[in-house]
Structure 1
Amino acid sequence: MGKFFSGGRLFGLLALIILLVVVAGVSLRSRSTQLALPEKWIHDTESVVSGWVYEPVFQVDTFFSHLRDLQALYEENAQLQTLVNQDQGLRTEVYLEKQQNQILKQMLQYKGKSPQFQLIAGDVTARSPISWNDELTISVGEKAGVSRNYPVINQSGQLIGRVVAVAEYSSTVELITSSTTSDGVSAAIVIPGSPAYGVIQGSRAHVGFLTMQFISQLASGLKVGNQVVTSGLSDIYPKGIVIGNITQFESDGTGITRSAVVKPAANLNALDYVFVIAPQPGQVLQ
């Protein structure tokens, strides 16, 4: 062993080791900048295969990402819709409250301007579509001082009808537009000089309107638009309650009198609150 590592042999071994280190270093530097041909094939194959795998995986990931975005958007829209519905509900409540306050204000104003009447306030509680133009039910009855044949007006003092049936806590009101009643309302057309008189009933030819009959042909100053009020020639209706306005005149075929179509002043399709007119002391209503 000592002879093997002695002299020139040891020098040669050291030289060989140094040469291998230099060659290895050169080889490593070359591989960092340039690939060998087999490595190139492997690299390109790996790139192509990775592309085949990457694209479907990317598409699937994108699809589920969009699904998550849509789910989040749906939940956000649902929350926004809830807020919108709540806002619309609040707006509706505010609108109805304003309408109710306006009606109640009108009722107070009318009551203050009409000390000649004893007014009993009530609200409409029932109305059938079958008898829409004929009758309705109100929330006041005998306990509130209501009796049969008491006149009924709206919040502005315009004639609606009269009480025809009374219970303890409710009453039935026959509307002036009813064409089933044989009773009429003694009415007067407001014109300069002496008024023209007639009788108001619900119109059969014009649903929701009134017919005023027995108007004298001798009456002058009659025209479309004239106001019609209660005449006071009745034990039921006090004088001067507004009924409506004339929309047209019609001949009744007698040559002595004529009739007129009258549009009610009260909006009978939108009744929520009413006044029942009770008699003042000494006044008798039948």
Structure 2
Amino acid sequence: MGKFLSGGRLFGLLALIILLVVVAGMTLRSRISQLTWPERWLHDSESVVSGWIYEPVFQIDTFFRHLRDLQTLYEENAQLQTLVNQDQSLRSEVYQEQQQNQILKQMLDYKGKVPQFQLIAGEVTGRSPISWNDELTISVGTRAGVVHNDPVINQSGQLIGRVVAVAQYSSTVELITSTATSDGVSAAIVTSGAPAYGVIQGSRTHPGMLSMQFISQLARGIKPGDQVTTSGLSDIYPRGLVIGTITQFTSDSTGITRSAIVAPAANMSALEYVFVVSPQPGQVLK
């Protein structure tokens, strides 16, 4: 055995092994790079068929991915819209609270300025569109001390009407803009000279406005823009309650007196809280 592997025989065996490895490698590389024609046909056919299948599958997958994206976008938009609506609702609530607080502050301020009057605070609870300028319902009645013919003012002390019907927990207020009554409010035009007197009623020619009648033609110095208040010449209304402002004068047919159109000082379309006044006859509001 030692003689067989000695010398040139060993060298020749190693050379033979190396040659076999090289030939085997070349053979394998040739088989990989050079396919037979059935293999090539099968490979090409598989590529074509894969292309036919891949493109529709890809389009379908893309379509459903877009649907999922649209669904996600829709849900996000819905959530965003909900947040926007909540924000708007919150803003509206905050604004209403601010308005209510402002009105209540005005009521407290006014009440502190007229300690001579008993002021009963109430809330407007009913107002019909049919009789919008004629009457409304408030949330206080006899249990709170309200009686028939009590004057009613807004939060700033401006006259809006009088109580014409009273229940235990509510009252009906006839507004000064009403044209459904023959009663009027004895009023005075505030001037630097002698006051001019007249009677205030709801205007039939200017809905929502007031008509001041029986103003003497002899009254001097009165003009549009002058303030009109209660005169105190009444058993119902104390003197000095603000009624409104004169906008224009008109002559009566008799030529003895004249009339005036008066804009109410109170915002008659936005009455939420009121005071019922329980004054003594002839009291002066300062």
The answer to whether the 8 A contact 2:235-2:281 is kept is no
Q: How does 1:235-254 map to 2 (within 5 A)?
A: 235-254=235-254
Cross-structure match for 1:43:
43
- Give distance in 1, aligned partners of 2:259 and 2:281: 36
Paired amino acid for 1:100: Q
TM-score, normalising length from structure 1?
A: 0.86
Q: How does 1:49-60 map to 2 (within 5 A)?
A: 49-60=49-60
Q: Closer, same or farther in 2 for the Cα pair 1:205/1:156, shift >3 Å?
A: same
Paired amino acid for 1:230: T
The answer to whether the 8 A contact 2:178-2:202 is kept is yes
Gaps of 5+ in 2: 1-17
Cross-structure match for 1:3:
none
Cross-structure match for 2:103:
103
SS at match of 2:194: coil
Paired amino acid for 2:270: A
Q: Give the fraction of aligned pairs with identical amino acids, expressed as a percent.
A: 80
- Give distance in 1, aligned partners of 2:36 and 2:166: 112
SS at match of 1:162: strand
- Give distance in 1, aligned partners of 2:19 and 2:258: 138
Could you tell me how far 1:267 is from its partner in structure 2? 0.6
Paired amino acid for 2:156: S
- Give distance in 2, aligned partners of 1:258 and 1:211: 11
Cross-structure match for 2:73:
73
Q: How does 1:8-157 map to 2 (within 5 A)?
A: 25-157=25-157
The RMSD of aligned alpha carbons is 2.2
Aligned residues between the structures: 266
Q: Closer, same or farther in 2 for the Cα pair 1:152/1:281, shift >3 Å?
A: closer
Cross-structure match for 1:194:
194
Q: How does 1:181-260 map to 2 (within 5 A)?
A: 181-260=181-260
- Give distance in 2, aligned partners of 1:280 and 1:232: 11
Paired amino acid for 1:238: P
Paired amino acid for 1:105: K
Paired amino acid for 1:122: G
Q: How does 1:168-183 map to 2 (within 5 A)?
A: 168-183=168-183
1:261 equivalenced with 2:261 (yes/no):
yes
Could you tell me how far 1:78 is from its partner in structure 2? 2.2
The answer to whether the 8 A contact 1:140-1:171 is kept is yes
Paired amino acid for 2:138: I
Q: Closer, same or farther in 2 for the Cα pair 1:41/1:260, shift >3 Å?
A: same
